[in-house]
Every structure is written in structure tokens, then in C-alpha cells.
Amino acid sequence: MSVVIVAPGQGSQTPGFLTPWLEDPAFADHLGELSEAAGLDLAAHGTTSDADTIRDTAIAQPLIVAAGLATLRALLGDAAEARRAGLAGIAGHSVGELTAAAGAGILAEGDAMRLVRERGTAMAAAAAEVATGMSAVIGADEAELLNALAQLGLEPANFNGGGQIVVAGELPALEALRERPPAGARVIPLQVAGAFHTRFMRGAVEHLRRVAAELPAADPTVCIWTNRDGSTVAGGADFVELLVGQVASPVRWDRTMASFAEAGVTGIIELAPAGALTGLAKRGLKGVPTAAVKTPDDLAAARDLLDGAA
């Protein structure tokens, strides 16, 4: 078997999702280290903070990356070296690219947490300049949708595959799209506080480029795919440059999944807070086994999938 690990993006978090994980002292200690690097109490945000608090971009992004890194360590466990040997690679959706970068050895975990804290803060600041948001459009003809977006001043933000495209822009324009959707399409507002992966984030890109330039980047130890176009990237510095630029350009998860298929991937494991990417895989990579690591109870099935590839 050929298994890939994927890391989710913003919007996958839910209140209290880390509660069962923190019963493991090793997990709690690891999360504490990641919290210190980010300068946030991520244990509190993953257990007692409410939905509005963890919707805040500056909190949500470090929380998601830390959850992914901590569950990745728990997944690999004592057999980390052997299980890594069985990996086809790793990829992340949007902010999950930082999880993937650390998981592939491009960035040290502490540096990934510092960069994601800067990313979340910079994107929150950019989002505060204009009232913007994002909506998922399901079932639309792509050409018809892109034409409608151009007329409304909206942009495609995430091409997620399986008939789903997330669009972003100013709130009145999103409401107009919801009221007059393309034929046969549904428009679902998302609980995110900004037009991520669009022109509205250009200021955040410049800030992040300066921050990232100060961080050492090693070449990946496992195959890693970029959201830019679904291709693999061999250079660590190149991958970091791409993930910085991705803040203001569309996430092509559809192309990433197409690359998985071309690479012969036969299993997908999604790190916490899991569910969104395995859901997309069930539609875009039909028949490929998936494991969503939502709680510690899901580790056994995920390890079975991974061990079968080693």
C-alpha cells in the first residue's frame, strides 16, 4: 500500500476537540511545548474556549497546526521510523501546509508554530480592513461559477474537488451569490473571518515573507505536495516560499488529490481536527481507504492503514 498523511485547514476546529487527547500525558506535554512556541494556551483553546474564540484566525491557525503535529507524533508512536518508511508522503490544506512542512522536516516544530502565529495574526489584521468572508459552492458548473464571481468581484479561494469550490470576497457580494446561485448549485456561508487566499490577503504575504526569511528550511525527508498546483516540491526553501504566497492565491486541493491518484496512493490518513479532507477524498478519490484521526480511539485504525504500507 501507498499511504499519504494529510493535514486540515481552518474551519475544521470545533469546541473541545482536544479534550480526549489531553488525557495522555505525553500528548499534553507535547502540546505544551507547541503552545510555548506559539505564545498561546492551546490546551485551553482546544478544550474550554467557545466557538467564537477559536474562530478567531489568530487563534484557530496555531490551534489547528499544533493539533496536527501532536496527533502526528501520537500516530507514529514508538515505531516512527518504520511508519515514516511506509509513507507515500504528506500534504496540508491551506494552513495545514505548515503542519505538513514540519511533518516533512522542512521546518522545526517550534519555527512552524512561530510562523503560523504570525500567519494567523497577519491574516486577521488583513481581514479586519474590509468586511469579507467565504462560502462553499457545491454542484456548480465551474465556468458558470467563475463568470458569476467575476461579475460580483468575488474570487475562487479553494478548489476542493468533488464538485466543491470555496469562494471569497466582500460580504454583500457573497450574499448576492447566495441569493442568485448558479444553476443547480448550493451556496453555504462558512464560519471564517476573512477572504483567505484572495487579493485581500496580499498585505499578510509581505509580512510573512519577511518572517519566513529568518527561519532555516531543510529539504523534505518525505514527499510533499504543494497547494499551488498539486506538484511535489524537492526544496525546503522553495516549499516555504510557496506556502507563504499561498495566503493570497487559491488552494488547488483538487489538483493535489489528482496528484495522489497519479502517484498510486492507496490510503489517506487525516490528522486532527480531522474529517473535512477525508470527506473530500471519498468524493474525489472514490474507493481509496481513509482514516480520520479525530480522537485517540481512531489511532488504531490509522496505524493499521499505515503499518500495512510499511
User: Could you tell me which residues are beta bridge partners of residue 186?
Assistant: 138
- Which residues contact residue 139 at a Cβ distance below 8 angstroms, ignoring those fewer than 6 apart? 163, 184, 185, 186
C-alpha grid cell, residue 105: 522536516
Alpha helix (H) residue ranges in 16-108? 25-38, 42-45, 51-55, 57-76, 80-85, 96-103
Q: How far apart are CA 133 and CA 167, in angstroms?
A: 9
Bridge-based pairing state of the strands 186-189 and 87-92: unpaired
CA pair distance 117, 120, nearest whole angstrom: 5
The residues near 274 (Cβ < 8 Å, ≥ 6 apart) are: 8, 12, 292, 293, 294, 298
Q: What are the catalytic residues?
A: 94, 197
DSSP 200-264: GGHHHHHHHHHHHTTS--PPPSS-BB-TTTS-B---HHHHHHHHHHGGGS-B-HHHHHHHHHHTT
Q: State phi, psi for 48 to the nearest 5 degrees.
A: -110, -15
Q: CB-based contacts of 180: which residues, under 8 Å, 6+ apart?
A: none
The alpha-carbon radius of gyration of the chain (Å, integer) is: 18
Which residues, at least 6 apart from 114, have a Cβ–Cβ distance to it below 8 Å?
Answer: 37, 38, 211, 215
89 backbone φψ class: left, alpha, beta (φ>0; ψ -120 to 50) = left
Grid cell of 55 as nine digits = 474562530
